[in-house]
Amino acid sequence: MITDALRFAAMSAVAAENASMADFLRALEDGLHRPIINETNLTSTYDFEIHGNARSTEEFLGMLRDQLGLVLTPEHRNVEMLVVRLLQ
């Protein structure tokens, strides 16, 4: 079982240059293991850099808020997904 503390050990430092918001959120989704819906309306490319020692999901989200001014808010949404299954 992966705990939040172990999951976010790899998310304590995140950096990207000339990245779109979609690219950045895709990296966050990989670390958070959940989908993120972009409601920022930001369409350009950006340099992102987050540093710290997050020991939990909440601490990492606090770093994201404090260092980049981005806030992730948990919500329940219907999300369309494509599921691919191997036929045998």
- Tens-of-pLDDT digits for all 88 residues of the chain? 334 443 444 456 778 889 999 998 888 888 888 888 899 999 999 998 888 888 888 888 899 999 999 999 888 888 888 999 999 8
Asked if 47 and 67 count as a contact pair (C-beta separation under 8 A), the reply is no
pLDDT at 65: 93
Predicted pLDDT of residue 11: 58
The CA distance from 58 to 71, in Å, is 11
In a domain, 76, yes or no: no
24 assigned to some structural domain: yes
| DSSP character at residue 16 | E
Domain that holds residue 46: 4-68
Q: Is residue 30 part of a domain?
A: yes
pTM of the predicted structure, to 2 decimals: 0.68
Tally of structural domains, the chain:
1
